[in-house]
Amino acid sequence: MPSPPPQPAPGDTFLVDGEASVQFSRAPIGFSVIAVQPQTTCTGWVWLDGYQLNGHGDAVGRRSIFVRPEGLKPLKPRYRTTAH
């Protein structure tokens, strides 16, 4: 039997599309996780709290999403440097 997918954790960033939840089929989003809700509502699904990201990786809104973890696609964090 295959092992379960790794669970998202605070600090993870993902591309959320239709493979994670049908609501994102037409308009995928970048998402940065700040919390994984402990309640279980449907087997194989989780509630995530976090920030929707724009194309530059900036947070543009806080939201909660209901997704299947195996459908989340990891995004590499974008590190910024600031001139001093």
pLDDT digits (tens, 9 = 90+) for 14-73: 999 999 999 999 999 999 999 999 987 889 999 999 999 999 999 999 999 999 999 999
Q: pLDDT at position 41, please?
A: 80
Write out the E strands in 17-84: 29-36, 46-53, 59-67, 73-74
To the question of pTM greater than 0.85 for the whole model, the response is no
